Structure 1
Amino acid sequence: MRKNKLAVTLVLAATLLAGCNPTYNWRDYSSPEAPYRVMFPAKPASHTRSVDLNGVKVEMTMTAAEVEGVMFAVGTGVAEDAAGAQAAVDAMKTAMLRNIGATVQRESASAASSGDPASARKSIDIDATGTGNGGPMQLTGHFESRGKRFYQVIVLGKAKAVPPEQSEQFMKSFTLL
């Protein structure tokens, strides 16, 4: 009887300790470069580099975290004007789809302008499947422009490795400030 209590106690202690080290360790992140907040599932890293978005060269900062082979990332940059930022949204979406030879499963888009170029907005949301890294890939993406600034919010990983609830939590946590 005493051995059973000890075994149960050890199993409970192991379960509690495992609960203290979750695979997804969500943390709030506010960008120092751009006005957004998001919850990352692990400690993110950032880097900035020049990218070519359909003939327009811009500096883009990518902040990302990877958990079990699934990438959670936010990219942002500034175009010369609102029209350039809107074009960047299309270019980023096209590049992401091309990277994995994707087929779009779902896409929705919206645009708004009040006549003031600084308030021009465009957004595109997609779910897509493709191939990469030796197998089927799944991409969930949100591409948005606000004035001259543009954003790319993605979850990308092997199709069976992307937990829908984790992807949804990341995507819904993205907020422009």
Structure 2
Amino acid sequence: MLLSHYLRGRGAAWALSLCPIWLGLLGCAPSLDWREIKPDDSDAIAMFPCKPTTDARMVSLAGARVRMVLVACRAGDATWALAFADMADPAKVTQALQDLRSANASNLKGTPTVIGEMRLAGMSPNPQAERVRVQGRLPAGDEVVLESGFFARGTRVYQATVMGKAVDAEALATFFDGLKLR
């Protein structure tokens, strides 16, 4: 009520200038609206800062054609995504994770840097279960940073990704720390 009073009167400019302060108190226009998502056909639970959409397509991983599902949205000048596929053959899991990692670097013409292990309760041990950062360029030439986490559970492989020009460290932590397996 106080805000609407000022917006109608002479204090409109002053009231709007306080929006950043009120953001935390009143929710003026938050850019990141975190919610828990449980994608169908997945054992994963993820925290997304926006309402994601889901798409699926056939891709080649580890020499096999598999259905990959992508759950993604855009918020805070970044794209947030979780992709997963069932390899059906346990012998193809490690190669599939390697293929996903290679595609990240190749698509951005960047060099991957391992920034740590991926650890989720219930995941299958795998030497490719790591967090990786790639600095590179989009096809249009824009510089971007891509942070991805790769992991597996059984025959299912996962890739959690955040891509943008710069992404807040706290938001990255919320996204990656919010990943769980049911």
User: For residue 96 of structure 1, what is the aligned residue in structure 2?
Assistant: 104
CA separation of 1:43/1:104 partners in 2, compared to 1, >3 Å: closer, same or farther?
Answer: same
2:168 counterpart of 1:163: yes
User: For residue 45 of structure 2, what is the aligned residue in structure 1?
Assistant: 37
Q: If each structure's strand is expressed as a fraction of its own residues, which one has the higher value? A: 1
User: For residue 7 of structure 1, what is the aligned residue in structure 2?
Assistant: 11
| C-alpha RMSD of the superposition | 2.8
User: For residue 116 of structure 1, what is the aligned residue in structure 2?
Assistant: none
Within 5 Å, give how 1:1-177 maps onto structure 2: 7=11, 11=15, 15=19, 16=22, 19-108=27-116, 120-122=124-126, 123-132=129-138, 133-158=140-165, 160=166, 162-177=167-182
C-alpha separation in 2, matches of 1:69 and 1:45: 17
Aligned length: 165
Alignment-mate amino acid for residue 137 of structure 2 = T
Secondary structure, counterpart of 1:121 in structure 2? coil
Alignment-mate amino acid for residue 169 of structure 2 = P
- Give unmatched runs, 5+ long, in structure 1: 112-118
- Give unmatched runs, 5+ long, in structure 2: 1-5
C-alpha separation in 2, matches of 1:21 and 1:120: 40
- TM-score, normalising length from structure 2? 0.79
1:63-86 CA distance string (max 9 Å, x none)? 001114411100011012222122
Alignment-mate amino acid for residue 126 of structure 1 = V
Deviation at 1:38, TM superposition (A): 0.8
